[in-house]
Structure 1
Amino acid sequence: MNSKECAPKDGLTPESESRRRFVTLSSITTASLALGIPGEATSSEGTSLYSPHEGANTAPLRIGMLLPDSQAYPPLGDELMKGAQVYASWAQGANLHIMPVVYGNRPSQAESAAADLLASSTVDVLAGFVCANAAAQWEPMLARYGVPLLVGDAGANALAPTARTPWVVRNSLGYWQTAWATGRWAAKALGPRAIVAVGPADSAFDQIPAFERGFASAGGRVQDLLFTAAPDGTSRLEALAQKVRQTRPDFVYVLASGPDARAFRQFWNASYTASQVPLVAAGMLGEEMAGAALAASQVWAARTHAGTSALDTLASAILPTPFHLLGFEMAQRMHAAAIHGGAQAHGLVLAKAMAQAALQTPRGEVRIDPTTGETLAPIHVQGLHRGPERAAIPLPVAGATACQGLCDVLGSRALGTYLAT
């Protein structure tokens, strides 16, 4: 199987108007930003964590922000920018000058937009929701201009071992790690027999194979793998419900996004099948289910932002979606690097500082594994059926050892960046 997250070249010429179209910045009310992250924090390893109260930039950090014009999730670019704005408005002394540019929705368009921006503007760092594996091929361009790239993405795929470069740093939501950890948890907590269903737009990425491998590693076996819809959009949910009734699995694991997620939530909430078998909702479907009033009584959501602490619960009102949170963390990581890199914070020095920064964020401690380049952050399975407490169970993160085994075999044939198309 191809080890790349997405095709780095798609042969399409990007539209200049789309590449250069600037995002309208929305004002943020700073009075609502009382998140209360402590100024002195310590990681589980006993090292200092960065929080926004440590210091300030001595000079402006000029950021070129590459945002997709997403059809799968239209608010994506706006939510990333708003999250970054929240951080820039809230952090003490942050001097972040963000230049947002919408590039389209294909990896080649992102690369062309980056090249245009570097040639026409002076920036210290690029950041964007782009294909992390394809972006590794930008290394000659980034080195020529001396500008590193911070990729922020959902983490739907593992970072390919051949796609690592010191010029590109990745801060992801860890969706593939969440799938792997959820598989291991589900085999032990719910049972070893599962039906897996996936929306067509989500099927080409690493989340399903990561779940299957995690599930199998804990003694589980996937009985059937079905689609929630046909390629033409025709629903296959009745066929899924029939399969569940016939085979009586221990649970159903479903991954979907966009219209597929909304359609599934509506169907499951009204289906008799929902009362017969537990559901584990993953990816954007987990967010869809968590944000809705559910009639179904046995629903779990695999999430990275699950309201597990007072800080996270408060932050949820300000950073309500995973992509608000991701934009916040991207700005926080760049700010941390600018502070700790000091006067030499440019080029590879800035890239190294971004990679080494350990952050205290609304979802907890977020760091980057120095061996694999993967983001290490809290993961939870949240019970949506237990009343107002909405209990969340923390799961082990797939660290370097697990990733080294998985990343070599995972690798999709996806033709675009997850949720950017």
Structure 2
Amino acid sequence: MNKPLKIGFLMPYSGVYPFYAQHITAGFLCAASKMSYGIADFAFMPTYVGQGGNKAFLEAAQKLVFFDGVDVLMGMISPKIYPELKPILENHNKLGLFFDFGESVPASEGYGTNISSLSMGLWQSEYVLGQWATKEFGPRGLMISPLYESGFNLGASFLSGVGSAGADQLRSTVLPENQANKNNLDLSHFFNEIDVNTPDYVHAIFVGQIGNEFLKQWKSSKFNNVIPLVTVENMAYPDMLEDIGHLGLNFYSASSWSKEHKTGTNPAFVRDFENFGKQQANLFGMLGYEAGLMLSRMKAQLTIGNASTAVIEFNQSGTIGPRGLLHFGSQEQQSFPLIDIVKINTTNKKNNATIISQGTALGYDISTVYSETESGWENPYLSV
């Protein structure tokens, strides 16, 4: 009997998407079934790591590698932790295949051959949004975010996009914790500010239910449909808008992946996932599907301890996922996928996202962003 691939699944808490791990697993097993594998061919070892801080991740990773003998570590992890995970994986000939939302730009020097990331690349969509909003609405933008969201590279990426479009300024409002927390969002000072000094557009960076609360208050304000509103990509995810779509929202955002995309193998993934899992395809299912394609392809070598051979053979295989060619490890050259700019219009019956422009983050020099924007946040973007 073939030996199952042992996967240590590091699972931080997420109040935003409490069932993300189940969706990732469903996507993974859907991909595995396409390659003639079943659930018995993979032994998942789920490990809860709280809010996802460095200490919790490292202790869990060491236990899974040292004592449980997993072949691969998987999970939603901040790239800031990769340098500390690197020696654990390399010294024991193990691989790490992780997920992130691209809240932090990648380190320019990479993370070695044993770590790979499946990322939503929000830093890229923020750059594209900044560039587009400046060209579309004017150079006098204003960015607003709570203290938590300001601790990542999203605002810096948006600012770089603004600069690439020729603007030399971007006002920024960071809401203190007493004005933006899980129990309260006080936008009175912000509304007073834009009433006195009206910007060409407002860019909002929020994550989770507080983002929906911002959209509710914006809709009720006199600035709705007067000042253009541009949001970070995650605020426009269809499942985030389900509870507030009836408000009749109108704003702009970005989309780096959608189940509606008709290019490449994405339609086949959506069809296969929805038939397999009996649920709507979503981004976590898509990330799990990509991981399933990768680890299914590498399974034979990984189960006999040939991690380096598994990586080499996989990168030569030309495996295509819903978003295009899959690659394990740090690529020699950063990929800059095409990102949609979308106009969001919600109704009681449907949330519409109309593509009105496209762009890439090509030209964004991230060589110093990683080191210049150090923050104390260790947890992944959605671990709130």
The percentage of aligned residue pairs carrying the same residue is: 20
Deviation per CA, 1:317-365: give whole Å up to 9, x if none: 64544333222222222223447x6998732233455667755333455
Structure 2 CA distance for aligned equivalents of residues 124 and 334 of structure 1 = 10
User: Displacement of 1:231 after TM fit?
Assistant: 4.2
Contact (CA 8 Å) 1:319, 1:325: kept in 2 or not? no
**RMSD after superposition:** 3.4
Q: Tell me, yes or no, if structure 1 residue 207 matches structure 2 residue 154.
A: yes
User: Displacement of 1:411 after TM fit?
Assistant: 4.3
359, 379, 382: which one pairs with 1:416?
Answer: 379
User: Displacement of 1:403 after TM fit?
Assistant: 3.8
328, 335, 342: which one pairs with 2:296?
Answer: 335
Corresponding residue of 1:270: 220
Q: Which moved more, 1:242-251 or 1:310-319?
A: 310-319
Structure 2 CA distance for aligned equivalents of residues 401 and 227 of structure 1 = 24
Q: Name the CA shift for 1:326/1:213 in 2 (closer, same or farther; >3 Å).
A: same
Deviation per CA, 1:201-249: give whole Å up to 9, x if none: 2110001101101111112354421135634624232322333333332
Q: What TM-score does the superposition give when structure 2 sets the normalisation length?
A: 0.80
- Which amino acid is 1:301 matched to? S
Contact (CA 8 Å) 1:367, 1:377: kept in 2 or not? no
Structure 1 CA distance for aligned equivalents of residues 6 and 204 of structure 2 = 41
Corresponding residue of 1:83: 27
- Which amino acid is 2:28 matched to? A
Contact (CA 8 Å) 1:283, 1:302: kept in 2 or not? yes
User: Displacement of 1:280 after TM fit?
Assistant: 1.1
- Which amino acid is 1:101 matched to? T
Corresponding residue of 1:182: 129
Q: Secondary structure at the match of 2:85?
A: helix
- Which amino acid is 1:135 matched to? Y
Q: Tell me, yes or no, if structure 1 residue 284 matches structure 2 residue 234.
A: yes
Structure 2 CA distance for aligned equivalents of residues 296 and 227 of structure 1 = 27
- Which amino acid is 2:284 matched to? F
1:316-355 equivalence runs, <5 A: 318=279, 320-338=281-299, 346-352=306-312
Q: Secondary structure at the match of 2:118?
A: strand
- Which amino acid is 1:299 matched to? F
Q: Tell me, yes or no, if structure 1 residue 254 matches structure 2 residue 207.
A: no
Contact (CA 8 Å) 1:205, 1:412: kept in 2 or not? yes
371, 396, 414: which one pairs with 2:359?
Answer: 396
- Which amino acid is 1:416 matched to? N
Structure 2 CA distance for aligned equivalents of residues 359 and 215 of structure 1 = 35
Contact (CA 8 Å) 1:380, 1:394: kept in 2 or not? yes
Contact (CA 8 Å) 2:212, 2:241: kept in 1 or not? no
Gaps of at least 5 residues in structure 2 are none
Q: Name the CA shift for 1:399/1:281 in 2 (closer, same or farther; >3 Å).
A: same
User: Displacement of 1:309 after TM fit?
Assistant: 2.0
Contact (CA 8 Å) 1:66, 1:128: kept in 2 or not? yes
Q: Tell me, yes or no, if structure 1 residue 61 matches structure 2 residue 5.
A: yes
- Which amino acid is 2:257 matched to? H
Q: Secondary structure at the match of 1:156?
A: coil
Q: Name the CA shift for 1:367/1:140 in 2 (closer, same or farther; >3 Å).
A: closer
Corresponding residue of 2:163: 216
Q: Secondary structure at the match of 2:99?
A: strand
325, 332, 345: which one pairs with 1:385?
Answer: 345
Structure 2 CA distance for aligned equivalents of residues 238 and 323 of structure 1 = 35
Contact (CA 8 Å) 2:77, 2:100: kept in 1 or not? yes
User: Displacement of 1:409 after TM fit?
Assistant: 4.4
Structure 2 CA distance for aligned equivalents of residues 190 and 345 of structure 1 = 55
Q: Tell me, yes or no, if structure 1 residue 299 matches structure 2 residue 260.
A: no
Q: Name the CA shift for 1:360/1:411 in 2 (closer, same or farther; >3 Å).
A: farther
Structure 2 CA distance for aligned equivalents of residues 338 and 308 of structure 1 = 29
